[in-house]
């Protein structure tokens, strides 16, 4: 079963449809995906935009908006209360007028919709940069309980093969503590797609075969993770072949707990993680699902500006599934 088929089944079984807000409501791709999700009964779609423009675009494109809530964020009747909540969430000395001005940004408004519990998650980025999506989330949603950072993972899928790669999108030079958080967050993503976690902290060294600060960092991260989460199968530092090929693991790391059968790969820094997922995608024929933002107190995910309506549909489905996970229910607003 594909990742999205699995996520779709999870969302279909939910007692209550997840409410997903789309800040870029005047984008045809967004409307097409939201209409389809709404019609299939998977989510309650919330569109931000000027209602007359949204409806005109939908009519011209033959898109059915039945049942979809359209919010005119530039003329929102509860803006004073939202601005006050915005100031409290920012924990920064700004005036009510400054807050209201910032909420004229659909990304900030949509994030506050999640913060206030009016939506369960947000999907944005079809017409904005990753920074425009992530910055409001960090400023207003903040990290989940016990987390101090956000990371970006990819689910790599080819047929029945599924793996989680992280961090491939956010943290440029993570230290050992950050790698531990990235690993824990990635385990939650793996569980969402029914992967039994077998986690490898990757390096150019296997169990001390090479020396250097980069190796030491990864070894420290692996030791810290195993100390804090002994119930999760994990090992490091490992070269990729020792983490992935049982015969190589037997030779290079015969005492490794994961025995060359890792399915979650934690990269030592962003550069190698980003290169690896693209290589796996382009040369290995894998589908790369992501980037999935991990570690937030509520699910907010970013789209590529080149995203298709199918990409929007898929990311909204993933965001809806994230909103059903225990971590969000326990640590959200």
Query: Hey, where are the domains in the chain?
Result: 3-146+297-331, 151-287
CA atoms within 13 A on the CB side of 49: 24
The model's pTM: 0.87
b/e map 3-36, b = 16+ CB within 10 Å: bbeebbebbeeeeebbbbbbbbbbbebbbbbbbb
Residue 38 in tokens: 């709404």
Of 311 and 47, the structure prediction assigns the larger pLDDT to 47
Buried b (16+ CB within 10 A) or exposed e, 108-144: bbbbbbbbbebbbbbbbbbbbebebbbebbbbbbbbb
pLDDT in tens, 53-110: 999 999 999 999 999 999 999 999 999 999 999 999 998 889 999 999 999 999 999 9
3-146+297-331: which CATH architecture? 3-Layer(aba) Sandwich (3.40)
Contact call for residues 240 and 273 (beta carbons, < 8 A): no
> Which CATH number is correct for 151-287, 3.30.465.10, 3.40.50.10750, 3.40.50.10190, 3.40.30.10?
3.40.50.10750
- Ranges of H-type helices in 146-294: 176-192, 213-228, 240-244, 246-252, 270-282
Let me know: does 233 contact 198? Beta carbons within 8 Å: yes
Write down the residue that tokens 């089944």 correspond to: 9
**Residues shown for the chain:** 333
Token digits for 40? 């299939």
The CA R_g of the chain, rounded to the nearest whole Å, is 21
Same fold: 3-146+297-331 with 151-287: yes
pLDDT at 331 > cutoff 50: no
- Residue whose token pair is 């980003």: 274
Cis bond upstream, residue 291 (ω within 30): yes
pLDDT digits (tens, 9 = 90+) for 95-113: 999 999 999 999 999 999 9
DSSP-assigned beta bridge partners for residue 151: 294
pLDDT at 328 over 70: no
Q: In which band, very low, low, confident or very high, does the pLDDT at 326 lie, cut at 50, 70 and 90?
A: low
Which pLDDT tens digit goes with each residue over 260-292?
A: 999 999 999 999 999 999 999 999 999 988 889
- CA distances for 311 relative to 7, 27, 67, 74, 326, angstroms: 14, 13, 22, 27, 25
Residues 207-216 have a mean pLDDT of 92
Q: Token pair for residue 69?
A: 């809530």
Which run of H or of E encompasses 22?
strand 19-22
């Amino acid at each position: 079963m594909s990742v999205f088929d699995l996520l779709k089944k999870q969302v279909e079984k939910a007692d209550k449809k997840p409410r997903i807000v789309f800040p870029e409501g005047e984008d045809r791709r967004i409307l097409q995906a939201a209409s389809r999700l709404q019609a299939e009964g998977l989510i309650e779609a919330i569109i931000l935009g000027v209602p007359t423009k949204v409806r005109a675009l939908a009519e011209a494109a033959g898109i059915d908006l039945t049942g979809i809530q359209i919010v005119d964020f530039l003329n929102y009747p509860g803006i004073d209360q939202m601005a006050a909540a915005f100031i409290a969430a920012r924990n920064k000395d700004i005036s009510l007028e400054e807050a209201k001005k910032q909420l004229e940004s659909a990304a900030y408004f949509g994030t506050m919709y999640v913060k206030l519990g009016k939506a369960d998650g947000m999907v944005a980025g079809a017409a904005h940069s990753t920074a425009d999506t992530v910055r409001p989330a960090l400023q207003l949603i903040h990290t989940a309980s016990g987390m101090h950072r956000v990371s970006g993972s990819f689910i790599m899928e080819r047929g029945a093969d599924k793996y989680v790669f992280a961090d491939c999108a956010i943290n440029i030079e993570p230290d050992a503590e950050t790698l531990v958080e990235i690993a824990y967050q990635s385990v939650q993503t793996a569980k969402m797609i029914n992967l039994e976690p077998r986690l490898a902290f990757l390096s150019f060294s296997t169990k001390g075969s090479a020396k250097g600060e980069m190796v030491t960092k990864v070894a420290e991260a692996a030791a810290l993770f195993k100390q804090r989460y002994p119930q999760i199968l994990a090992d490091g530092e490992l070269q990729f072949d020792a983490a992935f090929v049982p015969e190589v693991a037997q030779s290079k790391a015969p005492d490794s707990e994961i025995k060359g059968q890792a399915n979650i790969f934690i990269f030592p820094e962003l550069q190698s993680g980003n290169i690896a997922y693209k290589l796996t995608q382009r040369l290995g024929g894998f589908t790369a699902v992501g980037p999935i933002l991990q570690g937030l107190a509520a699910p907010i995910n970013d789209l590529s500006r080149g995203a298709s309506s199918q990409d929007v549909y898929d990311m909204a489905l993933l965001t809806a599934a994230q909103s059903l996970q225990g971590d969000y229910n326990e640590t959200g607003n």
